[in-house]
Structure 1
Amino acid sequence: MASEYHRGDQDISEQEATYVAFGNFTKWGCLFIAVALVMTTIWFCTDLGFFGGAVPGVILLALGIVFFRGKPAGSH
């Protein structure tokens, strides 16, 4: 039975897909939490109100999308 095992011959596509999905979930989830914290903190803890919190939240979201996007397939 042990002789049937050959190192490196197993299909790891499911593990790779799970790894990529977990990384993406973590990345985008952290961005969502950061935007929510910034918006609610400014909204409720200052006199700026809802729009005073929404503007920095939208800016943070836009910057996060720009910096967190995946690289093109051809780049390294």
Structure 2
Amino acid sequence: MGEQASDYHRGEMEIQEQVSTFNLFMGMTKWGSLAIASALLLFTVWFCTPGGFIPGLISAAVLAAIGFVLLRDKPDAAH
């Protein structure tokens, strides 16, 4: 067991698969949360207010559009 610890060298391991998995998970979490929030707003306005379906659809579409603009990937700033 003692020899195995000395075989590890920091920074030499390929981590591209872990980075890709993390990025996929974060993207699914981000866009899934926006979809759930939009659906929740649609159904809340549709069923819990006298507004009905069309105002609920409009409010959900506005939330989805604003969320898309705010959550999309931005280009990296050049340093």
TM-score when normalising by structure 2? 0.88
Q: CA RMSD in A?
A: 1.3
Q: Percent identity?
A: 45
- Give the 4+ runs in structure 1 shifted more than 2 A: 1-5
Distance 2:50 2:7 in 1: 69
Q: Which residue of 2 aligns with 1:6?
A: 9
For 1:75, what is the secondary structure of its paired residue?
coil
**Once the two structures are superposed, what CA deviation does each residue of 1:5-41 show, in whole Å capped at 9, x if it has no partner?**
2111000000000110010000000000000000000
Higher Rg: 2
Q: Aligned match of 1:40 in 40, 43, 54?
A: 43
Alignment coverage as a number of residue pairs:
75
- Partner Cα distance (1:75, 1:49) in 2: 44
Equivalents in 2 of 1:75, 1:63: separation in Å?
22
> 5+ residue gaps in structure 2?
none
Note if 1:20 corresponds to 2:46: no
Question: What TM-score do you get using the length of structure 1 for normalisation?
Answer: 0.91
Counterpart Cα distance in 2 of 1:10 and 1:46: 56
Gaps of at least 5 residues in structure 1 are none
